[in-house]
Amino acid sequence: MAYDDEDPTATPPPAIARDDSSTVEIEDVEDAEADEAVSDFRKFASSLPGAANGGGGGGGALKNKKAAPHVSGKTVRRGEKDFESHGTRLQENALETSRTAMHDVLSYTRTRVPDNYMTGWYFPDHWAQEAGEDEKPEGLWRRDRVVALEAEKGQMTKSMGRVLRGAPKNMPGWDKAWLLPEEALYLVERGDLLLRWPRGSIEDIFPPPEEVDGLKREVARGEDGDYELGLPLSLQAAYSLFIGHEGDRGKVTLEKFQVYSQLRRAGYLVSRASPLLDPPPPSDTQTLWQRLFSLISSPKSDTPKSHPAMGPLVKPGLHRSYESVYHQLSLIPRHKPTPNPNTPAPEGPFTVAYHVFKSRPGFTKTNLPAPDFRIAVVNARTTDVPDLAEMEALLDSTPWDPPNARSGAGGPGIGHMYQRLKHGWRNVIVAVNDNGMVSYLEFMETAFGEEKLFERFDAKPRQGGKKSSGRNQRAGVVVVEAAGAVEAVGGKGGFLHPHLLLVHLRHPR
């Protein structure tokens, strides 16, 4: 309602809106959607497990794995906010309790009972050395995998980490699942992963099979127990290890990580985009239907005809269908999507970064289905609005996905036109990240020229309908020299708006 532009009277003058109590709710909704900080930490804190015994520290939320119901943001009612400070103690107290609750909730330290977490070791250069400079084109981001999991546990590994095939079996860690930096950091943030910095080499952590029985890891256990092997790292250390600039090996940019983790929190499964995972572009061989269709429509090519400079646009005479008239009227070349464009590959920020999948049963990370969404991530502070070439390159890097019943954009016919236009021929999502706040924009390649509205004028009326008057069936269009209209625009010939001409055409004298 607040954005209703159609009716100017619906927008009250600002002075009235401020004081009108009936509009307060709108403001709440606006801001609730707008500011995550509206979130009322007092209510959130009391909804968390362990809140009863004080929360905070490591103690309160310990049982979160078993006892915790999942808290969704919607279950906690949003707090109410004031317009401005009015200096009352009531307001100050409310603010103070909110801040204290926030402090308590955020003072939590990630702890887990044994067997309820995974341990990962940071080996930043392992695969870089192993794979050499030229990575085998398999789209697994081998060289970027920097954390080896001791063992895969829990739901999270359903979509994260890969055991890399093809490594020699005497290589330490060959049978371990290796994580990408964003996966490792996300798991650390969740408290699912204990990240450790190895003191020695990878052979100390993952000894070759023949040594396992003999040496084992007992050697290392001294006064500090397991810690002699490697330092357990903090969240801060994990950020400093995994966050980097675009193109840094074994790192991820903060804007990409934030988008990644937000999508994961929302329940999507996310994998790094790899062009090799995309289906091959459709071949040029036409299906039977396409060939049949082209037989029908081929006599009239889509390229606009040349017209005499002084008109007329439409040759005078009798036209049996609107189609032939409209065909002559098409002066402006229209964009026609093609399955195999020769656009150069996208460069810079407007490149698909992640493939996003809806969570579904039977999902396996080794056999990824076609992604539901493709997402490019840009930093709002360093990136300008894309120009047409960037957007075209980005869209053309996504697979050909024309609207049809299979793609969920309905069937043919005028009834599904808006669905088709909305679906587009290719689509991509751009996540714009401004210092941790992310907006998602969807871009589609749309072709209005593919929707021929005039075809329905020629459609035969339904058989047996009472209202069919018989006249329509035989009606032709008589095109007269629309002299009056042409003169009206100064006799310049041809500068006649097609719609204007249409009016003339549909009401021949």
Residues 218-237 that bind other proteins (CB under 8 A): 221, 224-227, 231-237
**CB-count exposure of residue 420 (10 Å: 0-12, 13-18, 19+):** buried
Residue among 107, 297, 359, 472 that touches other proteins (CB under 8 A):
107
Q: Give the Cα separation of 330 and 324 in Å (integer).
A: 10
Q: Give the Cα separation of 55 and 43 in Å (integer).
A: 13
Residue among 68, 405, 459, 488 that touches other proteins (CB under 8 A):
68
Say which residues have a Cβ less than 8 Å from residue 465's Cβ, sequence separation at least 6.
Answer: none
Residues 3 to 42: which contact other proteins by CB under 8 A?
3, 8, 11, 13-14, 17-18, 27, 30-31, 34-41
Say which residues have a Cβ less than 8 Å from residue 82's Cβ, sequence separation at least 6.
Answer: 91
Within 10 angstroms of residue 350's Cβ, the number of other Cβ atoms is 23
Asked whether position 214 contacts other proteins by CB under 8 A, the answer is: no
Amino acid at 174: W
Say which residues have a Cβ less than 8 Å from residue 85's Cβ, sequence separation at least 6.
Answer: 91
**Minimum distance of other proteins from residue 208's CB (angstroms):** 17
**Minimum distance of other proteins from residue 253's CB (angstroms):** 6
End-to-end CA distance of the chain: 46
Asked whether position 197 contacts other proteins by CB under 8 A, the answer is: yes
Residue among 88, 109, 286, 472 that touches other proteins (CB under 8 A):
109
Q: Which is nearer to other proteins, 18 or 497 (CB)?
A: 18
Residue among 437, 441, 475, 503 that touches other proteins (CB under 8 A):
437
Q: Which is nearer to other proteins, 195 or 375 (CB)?
A: 195
Q: Which residues of 276-293 are buried (b: 16+ CB within 10 A; e: fewer)?
A: ebbeeeeeeeeeeeeeee
Residue among 10, 58, 282, 458 that touches other proteins (CB under 8 A):
58
Q: Give the Cα separation of 302 and 290 in Å (integer).
A: 16
Residues 372 to 401: which contact other proteins by CB under 8 A?
380-381
Asked whether position 258 contacts other proteins by CB under 8 A, the answer is: yes
Q: Which is nearer to other proteins, 235 or 485 (CB)?
A: 235
Bridge partners of residue 271, in order along the sequence:
355
Q: Give the Cα separation of 226 and 114 in Å (integer).
A: 13
**Minimum distance of other proteins from residue 232's CB (angstroms):** 6
Kindly state the DSSP code that residue 435 receives in the 8-state scheme: T
> Is-contact 382 428, C-beta < 8 A?
no
> Is-contact 402 425, C-beta < 8 A?
yes
Asked whether position 84 contacts other proteins by CB under 8 A, the answer is: yes
Number of residues near other proteins (by CB under 8 A): 112
Q: Which is nearer to other proteins, 121 or 326 (CB)?
A: 121
Residues 475 to 504: which contact other proteins by CB under 8 A?
none
Q: Which is nearer to other proteins, 98 or 407 (CB)?
A: 98
As given in the structure block, the two tokens for residue 219 are 């050697």
Asked whether position 85 contacts other proteins by CB under 8 A, the answer is: yes
Q: Which is nearer to other proteins, 242 or 425 (CB)?
A: 242
Asked whether position 266 contacts other proteins by CB under 8 A, the answer is: yes
Asked whether position 200 contacts other proteins by CB under 8 A, the answer is: no
Kindly state the DSSP code that residue 459 receives in the 8-state scheme: S
Asked whether position 431 contacts other proteins by CB under 8 A, the answer is: no
Q: Which is nearer to other proteins, 272 or 426 (CB)?
A: 272
Peptide bond into 312 cis (omega under 30): yes
Binding mask of the shown chain, residues 37 to 56, with x at each position contacting other proteins by CB under 8 A:
xxxxx--x---xx---x---
Kindly indicate which of the ranges 128-136, 203-211, 389-397, 435-443 contains the residues binding other proteins, using the contact rule CB under 8 A. 435-443
Q: Which is nearer to other proteins, 379 or 407 (CB)?
A: 379
Q: Which is nearer to other proteins, 66 or 499 (CB)?
A: 66
Asked whether position 207 contacts other proteins by CB under 8 A, the answer is: no
Q: Give the Cα separation of 379 and 227 in Å (integer).
A: 39
Q: What value does the CA radius of gyration of the chain take, rounded to a whole number of Å?
A: 32
> Is-contact 420 407, C-beta < 8 A?
no
Asked whether position 146 contacts other proteins by CB under 8 A, the answer is: no
As given in the structure block, the two tokens for residue 431 are 């996540």
Picking from 339, 338, 424, the residue whose alpha carbon sits closest to that of residue 374 is 424
Picking from 121, 143, 377, the residue whose alpha carbon sits closest to that of residue 226 is 121
Picking from 477, 485, 478, the residue whose alpha carbon sits closest to that of residue 501 is 485
Residue among 208, 436, 461, 476 that touches other proteins (CB under 8 A):
436
Q: Give the Cα separation of 171 and 164 in Å (integer).
A: 12
**Minimum distance of other proteins from residue 42's CB (angstroms):** 10
> Is-contact 63 50, C-beta < 8 A?
yes
**Minimum distance of other proteins from residue 239's CB (angstroms):** 6
Say which residues have a Cβ less than 8 Å from residue 223's Cβ, sequence separation at least 6.
Answer: none
**Minimum distance of other proteins from residue 263's CB (angstroms):** 10
Asked whether position 241 contacts other proteins by CB under 8 A, the answer is: yes
Q: Which is nearer to other proteins, 190 or 504 (CB)?
A: 190
Q: Which is nearer to other proteins, 9 or 285 (CB)?
A: 9
Asked whether position 157 contacts other proteins by CB under 8 A, the answer is: no
**Minimum distance of other proteins from residue 447's CB (angstroms):** 29
Asked whether position 429 contacts other proteins by CB under 8 A, the answer is: no
Residue among 435, 468, 469, 472 that touches other proteins (CB under 8 A):
435
